[in-house]
Amino acid sequence: MVSVLWRDSWLKPLSVHDIETKLCKSCKKILKDKDFVTSCEFCDIGVMHDNCANDHILKKHKVEVNKKIELHKDKPLHEFQ
């Protein structure tokens, strides 16, 4: 069975001042205007590019992600948590 990982679809504009970093914590590149960023729910690495976060989570948190997928397996689709 294919599992996809849903991210909330709303965007929240933040300035680099708000997030207290000018760099992506994963690839260490300087954040550019209108880069998509997110944080990791499994550790407190900080703000990363959306793409970097995908890699980060799949590489560093494989176990947690699989656990999550297992947890959601037998639940009806409309049940959010």
List contacts with Zn ion (CB under 5 A): 24, 26-27, 40, 42-43, 45, 49, 52
Q: How far is the CB of 8 from Zn ion (least distance, A)?
A: 17
Tokens of 71: 């947890």
Q: Which is nearer to Zn ion, 26 or 38 (CB)?
A: 26
Q: Which is nearer to Zn ion, 24 or 38 (CB)?
A: 24
Q: How far is the CB of 81 from Zn ion (least distance, A)?
A: 20
Q: Which residue from 73, 70, 23 is spatially nearest to 48, judged by alpha carbons? A: 23
Q: Which is nearer to Zn ion, 5 or 43 (CB)?
A: 43
Q: Quick check: 51 and 29 in contact, CB under 8 A? A: no
CB-count exposure of residue 4 (10 Å: 0-12, 13-18, 19+): exposed
Q: How far is the CB of 20 from Zn ion (least distance, A)?
A: 16
* DSSP letter, residue 23: B
